[in-house]
Amino acid sequence: MKFSKVACEIAESPTFALNDQARLLKERGEAVIHLGIGEPKNKTPLAAVLAGAAKLTSGEVKYMPADGSLALKKAIIRYTEENYSRQVTPENVLVTNGAKQSLFNLFYSILNPQDEVIILAPYWVSYPQMVKMCYGRPVIVTPEDGRFTPKIKEIERAITSYTRAIVVNSPNNPSGAVYPAKLIQEIAQLCESKNIFMICDDIYHKLVFDGITAPPAYGYTNKDIDETHIVVVNGVAKIYGMTGFRVGWVIAPRTLVRVMANVTVQTTSGVSAVSQAAAEGALNGLQAIVEALRLQIQNNREIFLQELRTFSGARLQPPMGTFYALPDFRAYNHDSVALSRFLLEKAMLVTVPGKEFGMEGHIRLSLAGSAKDVTEGVARLKWALDPQSPNEIYIGDRRVVRDWL
């Protein structure tokens, strides 16, 4: 059989592959701890449940406009005004099947073959793959100082006549880094001056710690919404814990939104009416759920930092946002894929290799679960890797002795 060259070159998602392995182990009765997936454990906000249920019980669950319902767009417009101090119209909003589709449609709409997209490492695993699927070329910029925040000169050096966009994900998956306001300002002004799209993946923008904020790029341009090259992607998955509803959106110039809507028409059509109603309910409902989730994640981060301080050899740049951490484990193994497999096999602990995020030797740990999962997960990490940790541990009700250090 012959298949598309582009499709065959798309890498398997490491997160989904590890999830499948973890699922099989759980089905066998193993006491697996999952620090791999980025999915909050909170319940769906009641306002979202009620709004979705009302739509479902009405029996009027039909095709929706490809660019999103007007009611949801109005909720997104208000959200944008409140959080970005930017007035937009319904024509500037496109509702998509998750923020992931927003990103794919963006790349599909702006890239010609061999056009380049600058991606800042560490990066979410799907960015380079999406660019390749749209016949573009991902250009990775890795901070030279080994930290998680690039310098503007490093980004400028990567720009060529083929550069069409720079992807900015702050707070950052997988590192938890929050880019300083000065860097956001420099990138925004660089993109505006060179007519390059600044694609802001803001899906975690409210999940920040220690009183800091993630500065919105809109604050650093004088251009109106239809002339700016700043594009914002967001959704309900992370800050409301509504991962299963698959509702994202993009705020962009109306000419770009029209092109992206045409892509949607010819691929998925509009987002489910029930999911859109639920998203509208979340945006219009009490926002205390967002702060409660943020506080839960911050508490997990504090537990994680405290536990990791006793871990000989592990180095960490403390996360300032999201629900991820990206410790450096090169003192134990430079091969992060092998390390993640080892941890799953020996400690029944699911992690994600840093190689997939452009940071070999690191592993990504999700802090989105319970405090117990975080505490026990780090204990298993230490047991599996640190010779100074106790030689025995209980995994579930099974006593296990370490015999490899």
Map residue 365 onto helix, strand or coil: strand
- Over residues 338-393, the pLDDT tens digits come to 999 999 999 999 999 999 999 999 999 999 999 999 999 999 999 999 998 999 99
318 belongs to a structural domain:
yes
What is d(CA 65, CA 264) in angstroms, rounded to the nearest whole number? 10
- Over residues 1-40, the pLDDT tens digits come to 888 888 888 877 766 777 787 788 888 888 999 998 888 9
For the chain, how many structural domains are there in total? 2
pLDDT for res 313 = 86
Would the pLDDT of 89 be above 80?
yes
Give me 268's structure tokens: 């998925």
Task: Report the pLDDT averaged over residues 156-160.
Answer: 98
Say yes or no: 296 and 224 in one domain.
no
Q: Which domain holds residue 195?
A: 60-284
Beta strand residue intervals within 172-235, DSSP E: 197-201, 230-235
pLDDT for res 14 = 65
| Cβ–Cβ under 8 Å, residues 125 and 13 | yes
Give me 325's structure tokens: 């951490």
Alpha carbon 93 to chain centroid, angstroms: 20
Last residue in a domain, options 234, 255, 284: 284
337 belongs to a structural domain:
yes
Say yes or no: 238 and 353 in one domain.
no
Say yes or no: 129 and 245 in one domain.
yes
Closest C-alpha to 209, from 119, 126, 308, 304: 304
Cβ contacts of residue 20 below 8 Å, gap of 6+? Answer: none
| Cβ–Cβ under 8 Å, residues 155 and 192 | no
CATH code of the domain containing 391: 3.90.1150.10
| Residue 328 DSSP class | B
- Over residues 231-287, the pLDDT tens digits come to 999 999 999 999 999 999 999 999 999 999 999 999 999 999 999 999 999 999 999
Say yes or no: 307 and 276 in one domain.
no
Residue in the block written with tokens 């650093």: 220
Burial 170-195 (b: 16+ CB within 10 A, else e): bbbbbbbbbbeeebbbbbbebbbeee
299 belongs to a structural domain:
yes
The radius of gyration of the chain from alpha carbons, rounded to an integer in Å, stands at 21
- Over residues 42-58, the pLDDT tens digits come to 999 999 999 999 999 99
What is d(CA 391, CA 204) in angstroms, rounded to the nearest whole number? 38
What is d(CA 239, CA 71) in angstroms, rounded to the nearest whole number? 20
Q: With left for phi above 0 and alpha for psi between -120 and 50, is residue 313 left, alpha or beta? A: left
Say yes or no: 29 and 133 in one domain.
no
Q: Nearest 5°: phi and psi at 282?
A: -65, -45
CATH code of the domain containing 233: 3.40.640.10
Closest C-alpha to 257, from 90, 65, 78, 75: 90
- Over residues 110-154, the pLDDT tens digits come to 999 999 999 999 999 999 999 999 999 999 999 999 999 999 999
Say yes or no: 15 and 101 in one domain.
no
What is d(CA 199, CA 204) in angstroms, rounded to the nearest whole number? 14
What is d(CA 23, CA 37) in angstroms, rounded to the nearest whole number? 12
Alpha carbon 243 to chain centroid, angstroms: 11
Query: Parallel, antiparallel, or unpaired for β 33-34 and 349-350?
Result: parallel
Last residue in a domain, options 269, 284, 299: 284
